[in-house]
Amino acid sequence: MKLLRMISLAGLAGMLAACTSTGSVRQPNAAETVASEQALALPPPGGPSIVSVVQHRRGNGVKQNISLFTSSSVQGQNYLNIQMLGASGSTSGTSGAPYRMISESGISREMFSAVPGVPMTRSATFLQNSYGPFGYASGRSRDGDTCIFAWQQVRSSRSAMTQARNFGMIQVRLRLCDARATERQLLAVVYGYTIIGTFDGEIWNPYGSQQGADPTIGRTGNPIYPDAGGYRDMPMGIGYEPQPAVVSRAPAVRRASAPVRAAPVQAAPVLPQPIGPRVPLPDATSGTQQSGTVTPPSPTAATVQQQTQQKTMSESGVSVPSPDCIGDAAMTAACRR
């Protein structure tokens, strides 16, 4: 009897719970695509452009996968990933990301996964940009493409964290492969990228305390020069020698010469065209009778001169006798008629 009473009470409680639920659809906090203007880190000016930004909100921060323009035959996409870790519970309803430092084994796994098939060599040189020290590895693919994989952790020093402040942390990963760029050109992106995301509250500042002025300013025995050369590049360091005075002279005024006009070019005299029918030469008439067509010969210089004289005399009123009228007296009288 008691068992039946307990079962009935449990069923009644379940029915009451079902009645109080709203039944609305809830979307889990998964990855979402945001605009490029909302990226937490930006490549340098002139660097690879942003293709897309995928954001993951966690319980203690946010992570963004920023895809960059890729011009390479190596498998994979260029990216700039940034993860900002702060207070736990900053994003309700989601689990927090593990608060882990960068480790050697973890970086090796990430590097070979990001650049598959490319032998990478880690640089042993200590380097740092505006956010502190960073490390990178570089390699070249079989097709000649250059690749780098860089990592950086931005976090305040341990001495600053003992004062109950500066607990925030930023981790950055950069993967770049290019078919035409060199290692130094790709490394310039590591020096030029900018973090624009911030934490809410000074206690989570990952950059540490603000850097003060140079302690050598105003201290005796610490001269400051206008350039990096120092005392050796100053003129007094090699002996002061006054420079000779510079005498300024007025520039000489040159008078413009009169323009020289070129002499007009005289055109060649044009001979007048003959008037009237042409008279064939005696030697030309005999050779053209066989064909039946008389072809006028080309005028010679003597013929042109003779025709010119005839035209001149006709214009002046002088009658020029025909060649047939010259010689015999009877023919001359007939021509005069």
- Per-residue pLDDT at 166 exceeds 60: yes
Region label for 230, one of left (φ > 0), alpha (ψ between -120 and 50) or beta (otherwise): left
DSSP string, 53-90: EEEEEETTEEEEEEEE--B-SSSS--EEEEEEE-STTS
For residue 90, how many other CB atoms are within 10 A of its CB? Answer: 19
User: Which tokens belong to 166?
Assistant: 């500066």
pLDDT at 204 over 50: yes
- Which string of DSSP letters, residue by residue, matches 287-327? HSTTTS-PPPPPP-HHHHHHHHHHHHHHHTTPPPPPGGGSS
Alpha helices, DSSP H only, in the chain?
2-20, 104-114, 158-161, 183-192, 282-287, 301-315, 329-336
- For the chain, the structural domain boundaries read 29-204
**pLDDT of 292 strictly over 50:** no
Q: How far is CA 144 from the centre of its chain?
A: 22
Class of CATH domain 29-204: alpha beta
Q: Which residue has the higher pLDDT, 151 or 91?
A: 151
Check pLDDT > 50 for residue 50.
yes
The residue whose two tokens read 């060599």 is 121
User: Could you say which DSSP state residue 139 is in?
Assistant: E
Q: Is the pLDDT of residue 299 over 60?
A: no
Reported confidence tier of residue 54, pLDDT bands at 50, 70, 90? very high
Has residue 290 got a pLDDT over 50? Answer: no
> According to the model, what pLDDT value does residue 291 have?
46
Is the pLDDT score of 24 beyond 90? Answer: no
- pLDDT confidence bin for 186, thresholds 50/70/90: very high
Q: Output the pLDDT for position 179.
A: 93
Instruction: State pTM to two decimals.
Output: 0.57
Q: To the nearest whole number, what is the mean pLDDT of the chain?
A: 75
Do residues 156 and 206 make contact, with C-beta atoms less than 8 angstroms apart? yes
pLDDT of residue 214: 83
Q: Identify which has the larger pLDDT, 213 or 239.
A: 213
Strongest mean pLDDT among 191-195, 276-280, 300-304 = 191-195
Closest CA to 199 of 101, 83, 79, 98: 83
